[in-house]
Amino acid sequence: MSYSETPEPPYLAVIFGFRLRTTDTAEYLATADRLMEIARQLDGFYGEEAARVEGGLCLTVSYWRDEDAIRVWRENLEHTAARQRGKREWYESFRVRVARVERDYGFQAATSE
């Protein structure tokens, strides 16, 4: 996994946690990839990171400049259609949280070659 290159804080993070109700994820993953292509083109989108953890919980965190940028994303027609389909077909459950990122720092170990 690579980390998103984000600007200096503050900025917003949309944390999308979910469990899929099916193990046949090919169509879901294709849709998710398409939605990320769209998001990357939006003004105010800074990046995203995704992970799957024990017990089937999946997390996607997207980073945004402000509430207006998130609103444009939420109102995108393809995103709206995918959310509706997700409730009907893909998701067992989900939770969305929006948080303000105040600090952003990290560490990268040196690699030996």
Q: Using alpha carbons, select from 47, 73, 51 the residue that is nearest to residue 60.
A: 51
pLDDT of res. 56: 82
What mean pLDDT comes out for the span 67-74?
Answer: 98
Q: What span, in angstroms and rounded, lies between the C-alpha atoms of 91 and 44?
A: 27
Q: Using alpha carbons, select from 73, 71, 75, 79 the residue that is nearest to residue 32.
A: 79
pLDDT in tens, 19-46: 998 777 899 999 999 999 999 999 999 9
For residues 62 and 39, is the Cβ–Cβ distance under 8 A?
A: yes
Spell out the domains of the chain, with CATH numbers in brackets: 17-101 (3.30.70.100)
Confidence tier at 111 by pLDDT (50, 70, 90): confident
For residues 60 and 50, is the Cβ–Cβ distance under 8 A?
A: yes
Place of tokens 């992970």: 51
Q: Residue 113 pLDDT more than 70?
A: no
pTM exceeding 0.85? yes
- Identify which has the larger pLDDT, 91 or 23: 91
